[in-house]
Structure 1
Amino acid sequence: MTTVRAVRPWGGDLSDVDLADGRISAIRPHTPGSSPPADVVEGRGRLLVPSFADVHVHLDSTRLGLPFRPHTASPGIWNMVLNDRQHWRDAEWPVAQRATHTLGMMVARGTTRVRSYAQIDADCGLERFEAVLAARDAHADRCDVEIIAFPQAGLLREDGVVPLIEEALRGGAAVMGGIDPCLLDRDPVRHLDIVFGLAERHQVPVDIHLHEPGELGVYSTDLILERTRACGMQGKVTISHGYALGGVSEATTRRLLDEFAELDVAMATVAPSVDTAIPVDRLTAAGVRVGLGEDGQRDYWSPYGNADMLDRTWQLAFTHRYRADELVEHCLAVASSGGASILDPAAPRLRSTADRPGLTVGDPAELLLLDGDTVTAAVMDRGADRTVIHAGRVVADALELR
């Protein structure tokens, strides 16, 4: 047994927290002056929160750890795909080394649960998927990683992609990916038939990138919902991004929220600076699971990203214009417990903006100690005095891996 001593769960009273068999086994008031147990993690009065769950990251495209390069991509998904193709093989490190380095940075900053995309297309074949597999294996004792077989360039524009996706699903990918059925592949029915068909065949969940604007995004979403219902895949589908679904009519947004809740379709956001996304407080209030991710990290798509989900939590609060403590803290709950419920639909879910799950007896010992007077202060200050616990064991401290 390990005791995390003198911590403040979600900013509450000073407590001692016992961990056993990878779970929280007891929480009790801290007694000053008591003799520490043999195996103790000193909390020093820091906050205790669930560790981060990054449910939307592209480990196969990162350039963290390498010299900064100018951004060269022009707007548009296909243009960015082509820009990435032109440059990714010329990086100073091979993909596996970059992915492994970035995943280590993520763990050191507090992330112990990850869902990463692995690009599979006619250009890279399975090379980038295998690199993410290598990163997952290198940090297997520090974090849990789900890999998405992701057709970044579409399933239909180029020959040979679907067999590669299926090979990845047989070789360790845990999620079937899809992307912009109308804008990219221009055949939404066939695209989604393949996505859901492969998911059913391999008994894996679905995660679909949706950048499509306005009513086009609603059209694709309705097709996704239709297939979710027809295939009996309630609780197994995530829509990532969905930038435009809060920018249509209020009646349409309300209908979508109700159907997401009915079919248990989750949403993953990367905290974009747009006014057309559905706010996370509305998703939570409607009963929709919602999580946060970092997307690409200083790659050939974007110069942003630094492997720190606490920074991305700040961004989520900032782009939502949240100021009240409850809403800022809710952003951290989304970044931790919210994402965890996407990875495991049986995990505790956020039920309101005041809900703070993940730190009760029986919960997984996926924990993060942070410095800060309050949770909101920790989000604002984003300090370096952090201790990261995975499966009941310290895996990083002061931003360094153990």
Structure 2
Amino acid sequence: MWIRRCRPWGGQVSDVRVEGELVAEVVPGGAGEGPAGEEEVDGRGRLLLPAFADVHVHLDSTRLGLPFRPHTGGPGVWTMMLNDRRHWRDAEAGIVERVAHTLGLMVARGTTRVRSFAQVDVDAGLERLEAVLAARETHRDRVEVQVVAFPQAGLLREEGSVQVLEDALRAGADVVGGIDPCSLDRDPVRHLDLVFGLAERHGLPVDVHLHEPGELGRFSADLILERTVALGMQGQVLVSHGYGLWDGTESQTRALVERLVEADVATATVAPGGRANLPLEQFAEHGVRVGLGEDGQRDYWSPYGNADMLDRTWQLAFTHGFRRDELVEHCLAVATRGGASIVDRALPRLTGVSDRPGLTVGDRADLVLLDGETPTSAVMDRGTDRTVLHRGRVVAEALELV
């Protein structure tokens, strides 16, 4: 097909030819010629960007599409987990329906790569995992989904937790999850022994939630980095959140960035407010893989989240205080190809804040057309005139699935 009259990354008006799943040609607007009957998409002067990659989302806890309910959670991960456990089965729609609905909303808004967590514990067993796997199957032609078997309740506090986690890996999960080795399970060595041991046994990558503050968080991160290098798992480990990693001294931040590079450990953020910001510019300069995600979406943990990664891109720029166009556009790069390089480790990482990959010949045609004068204005205005392509096929138009 030809995508006519589009502006790749806000540049000159161009025609882009897609052949199979790949971008095959990019030429000045009006110069692209093809055989009669070849499919065409009218870009109408819109921006052409790589499609979004949400690399930290909890599809299994979504309430999008259901009546709004007051927030009932308390402070702390364990208390919030118990609140979710009390309510998730009582929603107005079943979990399989809710997960499929939310994943469809994400695709319609421009997301074609997803890493979703699925809570596996002695309460839910594999029920929540099975709902995410079912949604992946429902939308298999529209989006690529990695599923993390996630022990939200830890591995050591409830008997049977480790067995449920391993059962989830045998049932089709793609990634081994972990969480707060010190503050939740209170035995970081044992917790990480279990997580990395399962990863080695099943040949899978690792994704660890790290909410721990300050020095405690940096201690846990040190243990994760040490194991990654010792086990030869460079490029296969991600630290999610890492709220407490970046509130130290300048030298601590620099040393931690260098260690992330050495171990090729990636990180994912949900652009939280009121916390120390990620050193995004240093990440880009040194080549640390970083992606963006929506976390929970109007669920029992939080009323935030709306299935729109363009909205979350605005939040990333806003919480970092970015005003220069180059930095706002860098947030778009993180939300698109930055996250994609986590889902698909064969993709190159971002090489700097001015790197704008994903739209050259040979790139997979996971694309989104957006209305906007510039990429920065698109982030600020977050318009609805969108066309989404996955693997060279149009899968959504004007926020509706095709």
TM range (shorter): over 0.9
1:372 pairs with 2:372: yes
Which amino acid letter does the alignment assign opposite residue 190 of structure 2? Answer: R
Note the 1:126-141 alignment, pairs <5 A: 126-141=126-141
Aligned to 2:344: 344
- CA shift, 1:345, in A, is 1.7
Contact 2:277–2:319 under 8 Å retained in 1: no
For residues 368 and 226 of structure 2, the distance between their equivalents in structure 1, rounded to whole angstroms, comes to: 39
Contact 1:349–1:357 under 8 Å retained in 2: no
- CA shift, 1:326, in A, is 0.2
- CA shift, 1:33, in A, is 10
Contact 1:213–1:244 under 8 Å retained in 2: yes
Question: Once the two structures are superposed, what CA deviation does each residue of 1:345-391 show, in whole Å capped at 9, x if it has no partner?
Answer: 22022110000011111111100000000000000000000000000
For the aligned residue pairs, the C-alpha RMSD in angstroms reads 1.2
For residues 5 and 275 of structure 1, the distance between their equivalents in structure 2, rounded to whole angstroms, comes to: 43
Question: Once the two structures are superposed, what CA deviation does each residue of 1:55-108 show, in whole Å capped at 9, x if it has no partner?
Answer: 000000000000000000011000000100111110011111100000000000
For residues 319 and 396 of structure 2, the distance between their equivalents in structure 1, rounded to whole angstroms, comes to: 29
Contact 2:288–2:349 under 8 Å retained in 1: no
Contact 1:279–1:320 under 8 Å retained in 2: no
For residues 234 and 37 of structure 2, the distance between their equivalents in structure 1, rounded to whole angstroms, comes to: 45
For residues 32 and 3 of structure 2, the distance between their equivalents in structure 1, rounded to whole angstroms, comes to: 15
For residues 378 and 98 of structure 1, the distance between their equivalents in structure 2, rounded to whole angstroms, comes to: 29
1:399 pairs with 2:399: yes
For residues 153 and 360 of structure 1, the distance between their equivalents in structure 2, rounded to whole angstroms, comes to: 43
Which amino acid letter does the alignment assign opposite residue 249 of structure 1? Answer: T
For residues 377 and 226 of structure 1, the distance between their equivalents in structure 2, rounded to whole angstroms, comes to: 42
1:20 pairs with 2:19: yes
Which amino acid letter does the alignment assign opposite residue 29 of structure 2? Answer: H
**Matched residue SS, 1:315:** helix
1:177 pairs with 2:172: no
Question: Once the two structures are superposed, what CA deviation does each residue of 1:206-255 show, in whole Å capped at 9, x if it has no partner?
Answer: 00000000000000000000100111000000000001111012221111
1:222 pairs with 2:219: no
Aligned to 2:190: 190
Aligned to 2:238: 238
**Matched residue SS, 1:364:** coil
Question: Once the two structures are superposed, what CA deviation does each residue of 1:2-51 show, in whole Å capped at 9, x if it has no partner?
Answer: 11111000001111111112111111111179787520111011000000
Which amino acid letter does the alignment assign opposite residue 236 of structure 1? Answer: Q
Which amino acid letter does the alignment assign opposite residue 19 of structure 1? Answer: V
- CA shift, 1:159, in A, is 0.9
Range moving further from structure 2, 32-41 or 241-250: 32-41
For residues 34 and 343 of structure 1, the distance between their equivalents in structure 2, rounded to whole angstroms, comes to: 34
- CA shift, 1:275, in A, is 3.7
**Matched residue SS, 1:244:** helix
Question: Once the two structures are superposed, what CA deviation does each residue of 1:327-356 show, in whole Å capped at 9, x if it has no partner?
Answer: 000000000000001111220221100000
For residues 80 and 276 of structure 1, the distance between their equivalents in structure 2, rounded to whole angstroms, comes to: 22
Contact 1:371–1:378 under 8 Å retained in 2: yes
Which amino acid letter does the alignment assign opposite residue 7 of structure 1? Answer: C
**Matched residue SS, 1:245:** helix
Contact 1:245–1:277 under 8 Å retained in 2: no
For residues 279 and 336 of structure 2, the distance between their equivalents in structure 1, rounded to whole angstroms, comes to: 17
- CA shift, 1:161, in A, is 1.2
Which amino acid letter does the alignment assign opposite residue 6 of structure 1? Answer: R
For residues 246 and 228 of structure 1, the distance between their equivalents in structure 2, rounded to whole angstroms, comes to: 20
1:270 pairs with 2:259: no
- CA shift, 1:286, in A, is 2.2
Q: Report the CA distance shift for 1:33/1:82 in structure 2 as closer, same or farther (over 3 A).
A: closer
Aligned to 2:58: 58
Which amino acid letter does the alignment assign opposite residue 363 of structure 1? Answer: D
For residues 193 and 240 of structure 1, the distance between their equivalents in structure 2, rounded to whole angstroms, comes to: 18
For residues 340 and 274 of structure 1, the distance between their equivalents in structure 2, rounded to whole angstroms, comes to: 27
Which amino acid letter does the alignment assign opposite residue 300 of structure 1? Answer: Y
Aligned to 2:167: 167
Which amino acid letter does the alignment assign opposite residue 232 of structure 2? Answer: G
- CA shift, 1:52, in A, is 0.3
Which amino acid letter does the alignment assign opposite residue 29 of structure 1? Answer: P
Question: Once the two structures are superposed, what CA deviation does each residue of 1:106-151 show, in whole Å capped at 9, x if it has no partner?
Answer: 0000000000000001111100000001111110010000000000
Aligned to 2:295: 295
Note the 1:63-74 alignment, pairs <5 A: 63-74=63-74
TM-score (norm 1): 0.98
For residues 33 and 78 of structure 1, the distance between their equivalents in structure 2, rounded to whole angstroms, comes to: 57
**Matched residue SS, 2:245:** coil
For residues 191 and 271 of structure 2, the distance between their equivalents in structure 1, rounded to whole angstroms, comes to: 27
Aligned to 1:110: 110
Consecutive unaligned residues in structure 2, runs of 5 or more? none
For residues 165 and 207 of structure 1, the distance between their equivalents in structure 2, rounded to whole angstroms, comes to: 13
For residues 158 and 147 of structure 1, the distance between their equivalents in structure 2, rounded to whole angstroms, comes to: 23
For residues 174 and 66 of structure 2, the distance between their equivalents in structure 1, rounded to whole angstroms, comes to: 29
1:101 pairs with 2:101: yes
For residues 153 and 399 of structure 2, the distance between their equivalents in structure 1, rounded to whole angstroms, comes to: 35
Note the 1:9-48 alignment, pairs <5 A: 9-31=8-30, 38-48=38-48
1:359 pairs with 2:383: no
**Matched residue SS, 1:167:** helix
Consecutive unaligned residues in structure 1, runs of 5 or more? none
Which amino acid letter does the alignment assign opposite residue 323 of structure 1? Answer: R
- CA shift, 1:284, in A, is 1.4
Aligned residues: 401
**Matched residue SS, 2:377:** helix
Contact 1:60–1:95 under 8 Å retained in 2: yes
Aligned to 1:318: 318
